[in-house]
Amino acid sequence: MIASSAFPVTKVERSKKNELPASNIPFGKYFTDYMLEADCENGVWKNIEIKPYQPLVLSPSLAAIHYGQSIFEGVKAYKHSDGEAYIFRPLDNFRRFNISARRMQMQPVPEEIFIEGMRQLIALDKDWIPNKPDHALYIRPFMFATDEMIGVKPSDTYKFMIILSPTGPYYAEPMRIHVEEEYTRAARGGVGFTKVAGNYATSLLPAAAARSKGYDQVLWTDEVEHKYAEEIGTMNVFFVIGDKVVTPDLSRGTILAGVTRNSAITLLRDMGVTVEEARVNLDDVAAAYKSGQLKEVFGTGTAATISEIKELQYKDTVMKFDPKTWKIAPSIKKRLDDIREGRTPDPYGWLLKV
């Protein structure tokens, strides 16, 4: 179908890399010289090309704008001391992308375009990857419906793209989290397990309300009783209770199956720590806090890696922590960062060389 040879490249006249700040690169604000673009019409992929990063020309009747067939992924690549670039678990993001695509009645993207296209794109922009601890190249694959017609139906045409953004640390400080009891992110039978654009639009109002009360983010709860933990913003959540680690299970289809979540579970189990995937009742979490058994609470996600939580407010219980005294979250963050940034061997085959 598609030759595994190089996709066509239109070269930039001049790199804009000198516009990138030397330090404190803000998340998602700077984009590299190149982007990948591909079109799908009636199930056939075509016009696969790499070209200078530039604006798109779109019709006002574009299907994605009106009815929301729009999905994305978030992946990271790292520069190792050998000077080569390595992508962290991109095949997992590829599979999840197509899970989102199927739920949204969109065309699945072939591996050749998603993975090979990503490698060829990164190879061109390799010099943009910061070679510093906690710095990476954030990779944003996305797809949206491009039919030029108003009407609620699956689009016949789609555009798939990848853009790249060099980035520094995301949530550098430990976070204060508000447990959400009014709004719902996802319900059973819905789209919580997908990275569909609309999921993030609906999270903005609750997040703003939490921020106005001094919190950084909300911890979502189940849609029925608002007492079972789901996830935080764009992160999965972990609780260290006694000598066990507990994280919400994925069986209800309301939680994003994070690649970082899976990596953290794997690393913890290999370190000999018991990890339970289960429904996490926040009344039990608050009781564990009161009895001194709740040791650590943290989030996991590609953008943020491991984010420590220093305060968790649930109903009238305010749980406060001193992450400087923690053992579990810092040790898996170190283990994960050492693998991703190439300081220790990768026994899991998680890294794909560009």
Q: Which residues bind ligand PLP (CB under 6 A)?
A: 74, 195, 231, 234-236, 256, 258-261, 300-302
State which residue, 48 or 333, has the beta carbon closest to ligand PLP.
333
State which residue, 261 or 295, has the beta carbon closest to ligand PLP.
261
State which residue, 79 or 261, has the beta carbon closest to ligand PLP.
261
Crossing angle of the two packed helices 259-270 and 328-340, in degrees rounded to 10: 110
For 202-218, b/e burial (b = at least 16 CB within 10 A) is ebeebbeebeeeebbbb
Q: How far is the CB of 71 from ligand PLP (least distance, A)?
A: 11
State which residue, 36 or 304, has the beta carbon closest to ligand PLP.
304
Q: How far is the CB of 6 from ligand PLP (least distance, A)?
A: 28
Q: Report the candidate in 230, 216, 207, 222 with the shortest Cα–Cα distance to residue 177.
A: 216
Alpha carbons 248 and 256: distance in angstroms, whole number = 11
Q: How far is the CB of 264 from ligand PLP (least distance, A)?
A: 9
Q: How far is the CB of 82 from ligand PLP (least distance, A)?
A: 25
- The string of DSSP letters for 165-223 reads EEE--SS-SPEEEEE-SS--S--TTSSTTS-BHHHHHTTHHHHHHHHHTT-SEEEEE-T
Pairing of strands 157-167, 34-41: antiparallel
Q: How far is the CB of 75 from ligand PLP (least distance, A)?
A: 8
State which residue, 25 or 304, has the beta carbon closest to ligand PLP.
304
Q: Are residues 177 and 314 in contact, defined by beta-carbon separation less than 8 angstroms?
A: no
Alpha carbons 220 and 252: distance in angstroms, whole number = 14
CB neighbourhood size of 26 (10 A): 11
Q: How far is the CB of 299 from ligand PLP (least distance, A)?
A: 8
Q: How far is the CB of 74 from ligand PLP (least distance, A)?
A: 5
CA distances from 34 to 31, 110, 128, 220 (A): 8, 21, 11, 36
User: Tokens for 161?
Assistant: 């793209």
Alpha carbons 30 and 162: distance in angstroms, whole number = 14
Q: How far is the CB of 182 from ligand PLP (least distance, A)?
A: 18
State which residue, 252 or 261, has the beta carbon closest to ligand PLP.
261
Q: How far is the CB of 94 from ligand PLP (least distance, A)?
A: 12
State which residue, 146 or 203, has the beta carbon closest to ligand PLP.
203
State which residue, 109 or 256, has the beta carbon closest to ligand PLP.
256
Residue 315: DSSP 8-state: T
What are residue 293's phi and psi, to 5 degrees? -90, -20
Burial class (CB in 10 A: 0-12, 13-18, 19+), 18: exposed
CB neighbourhood size of 150 (10 A): 12
State which residue, 51 or 140, has the beta carbon closest to ligand PLP.
140
Residue 247: DSSP 8-state: E
